[in-house]
Amino acid sequence: MRFWDNVALNGAARAEVRRENASGALNDPSIDVVVAEALEWLKRAQERSLSFDGGIARDYTLGKGWSTSYPETTGYAIPTLIREAQLRNDRELLARTRRMLDWLVAIQMPCGAYQGGHIGAAPVVPVTFNTGQIVLGLAAGARAFGEPYRTAMCQAADWLVSTQDADGCWRRYPTPFAVSGEKVYETHVAFGLLEAARVQPGGRYAEAAMRNVHWSLSHQASNGWLDRCCLIDPLFPLTHTLGYALRGFVEAYRFSRDTQLLDVARKTADGILGALGPDGFLPGRLDAGWKSDVSWSCLTGTAQVAICWLLLYQETKDTSYRDAGYLANQYVRRTVRIDGPEQTRGAVKGSFPIAGEYCRFQYPNWACKFFIDANCLEKAIREEE
């Protein structure tokens, strides 16, 4: 019996489960077509946000509809949208990013930090991780447009530096929406500080980022697996949070060119690669031996890891990373509809099948963002070769 058979589902959710069961494997659409549809979906997610504030709705949930805006993921969607707007000479998309940036400036806390959760979630408190993700967007905004985004970026980055513990970990302002404890995946906060350092050189931001990366590596096992690297289950982490941590390692190497950081990034990347199936299926959770018995894939995590594999291919020319990235991207592309209702056309499911554990029956905006990045990186590599 499938595990959702005993769950009371709304009509839309039941219909999508039936559609998945009946359709089998979908055709692989071209990268250009599927990325264009994904970009259009993110535009709709901005327009349909229930908070009507310029941010991107956290998700579309079957049977429930659109949510309010999510500051964290709106923040890190901005670099993707600015890049694509500039490549496509799309002034309308560029204007959309300005609305997102202006909204983020408007909701910044006096201390420089940002809240956790989506708009309307409680409690409204400063959170390290969310602030670091928004720094990624503010840094991209500062490069593209200048002020006031540079000032907001510096205020947020300064807060991160000032609240970091001496060993490089951030412990004082955790999210109230995950289990308590130290989080190795906050190397993705370090990634935000490295982007801030590119905009505002001077040492403090990069030094804090590297402290965190080295603290995180103290929790890397000999086979590359990472302890304390999940929202809720540190012994069986999501590929989503493993993808965050791995991206932090990769970006630390790309910033510093320290080959030791490349080695540790490859160790984790190789561990995850061993779990990749021949059809591109990557289990949504992995244990300390890089094994899993879950039957669903976290599509967000698959896209994030694909990005890391492709970045590592660019750095090393190891074709196993390129091939794994292509295969993982193809798997996710085949789950994305390029027809049907506009609420789900071009959107990326949290899990596949959609009844999987991660963001069950939801189409989260960050899955779409990472999907676009992974496919655009694949396209760039294919064109170069």
pLDDT at 201: 92
> Cis (ω within 30 of 0) for the bond into 126?
no
One-letter amino acid of 257: R
- In this structure, the number of other CB atoms found within 10 A of the CB of residue 154 comes to 19
Query: Which tokens sit at 218?
Result: 């103290």
pLDDT at 25: 60
Q: Which 3 state secondary structure label does DSSP give 57?
A: strand
Q: Return the bridge partners of 351, or none.
A: 298
Task: Give the CA dihedral 279, 281, 282, 287, nearest 10 degrees.
Answer: -90
Cβ atoms of 45 and 57 closer than 8 Å: yes
pLDDT at 23: 73
Give the domains, in start order, of the chain with CATH numbers: 67-337+369-384 (1.50.10.10)
Q: How far apart are CA 280 and CA 385, in angstroms?
A: 22
- Along the 385 residues of the chain, how does pLDDT read in single tens digits? 243 333 456 888 998 988 888 876 678 889 999 999 999 999 999 999 999 999 999 999 999 999 999 999 999 999 999 999 999 999 999 999 999 999 999 999 999 999 999 999 999 999 999 999 999 999 999 999 999 999 999 999 999 999 999 999 999 999 999 888 999 999 999 999 999 999 999 889 999 999 999 999 999 999 999 999 999 999 999 999 999 999 999 999 999 999 999 999 999 999 999 999 999 999 999 999 999 999 999 999 999 999 999 999 999 999 999 999 999 999 999 999 999 999 999 999 999 999 999 999 999 999 999 999 999 999 999 999 9
Q: How far apart are CA 108 and CA 141, in angstroms?
A: 15
CA angle 184, 121, 188 (to 5 degrees): 20
Task: Give the CA dihedral 273, 312, 332, 242, nearest 10 degrees.
Answer: 60
Query: Which tokens sit at 168?
Result: 């490089």
Cβ atoms of 298 and 354 closer than 8 Å: no
Q: Residue 145: which residues within 8 A CB-CB, separation 6 or more?
A: 98, 101
Q: Write the burial class of residue 341 (CB in 10 Å: 0-12 exposed, 13-18 middle, 19+ buried).
A: exposed
Q: Residue 249: which residues within 8 A CB-CB, separation 6 or more?
A: 187, 213, 216, 217, 261, 264, 265, 268
pLDDT at 217: 97
Residue for token digits 């896209």?
Answer: 303
pLDDT at 6: 36
pLDDT at 2: 40
pLDDT at 12: 87
Distance in angstroms between the alpha carbons of the first and the last residue of the chain: 46
